[in-house]
Amino acid sequence: MDSKIKKMARTGFVAKGTVYAITGILTFMAAFNMGGQKTGRLQVLEFLDKQTFGNVLLVLMGLGLACYSIWRFIQSVKDPENIGDDMKGKAKRVAFFISGIIYLGLAVLAILRVINAGGGSGTGSSTGSAQQSSWLASETGLIIIGIAGAGIAIAGIFQFVKAYKNDYTKKFALYSLSDEKKRKSIKNTAEFGLSARGVIFLIIGYFALKASFSSDPSEIKTTSEAFSFIQDSSYGSWLMGVVAAGLVAYAIYMFLMAKYRNFEGTT
pLDDT at res. 194 = 94
pLDDT at res. 177 = 62
The reported pTM is 0.86
Rounded distance between C-alpha atoms, residue 195 and residue 197, angstroms: 5
pLDDT at res. 133 = 61
By the 10 Å C-beta count (0-12 exposed, 13-18 middle, 19+ buried), 239 is classed as middle
Identify the three-state secondary structure at position 13: helix
pLDDT at res. 117 = 45
pLDDT at res. 129 = 53
pLDDT at res. 172 = 72
Q: Produce one character per residue of 69-98: b if its CB has 16 or more CB atoms within 10 Å, e if not.
A: bbbbbbbbeebbbebeeeeeeeebbebbeb
Identify the three-state secondary structure at position 261: strand
pLDDT at res. 199 = 95
pLDDT at res. 171 = 75
Rounded distance between C-alpha atoms, residue 156 and residue 18, angstroms: 20
Q: Is-contact 249 196, C-beta < 8 A?
A: yes
pLDDT at res. 84 = 83
Rounded distance between C-alpha atoms, residue 204 and residue 83, angstroms: 28
Rounded distance between C-alpha atoms, residue 14 and residue 252, angstroms: 9
Rounded distance between C-alpha atoms, residue 43 and residue 245, angstroms: 17
pLDDT at res. 120 = 47
Identify the three-state secondary structure at position 172: strand
Rounded distance between C-alpha atoms, residue 81 and residue 65, angstroms: 21
Identify the three-state secondary structure at position 223: helix
pLDDT at res. 135 = 65
CA atoms within 13 A on the CB side of 36: 20
Residue ranges in the chain modelled with pLDDT below 70: 117-133, 135-136, 167, 173-179, 264-267
pLDDT at res. 183 = 76
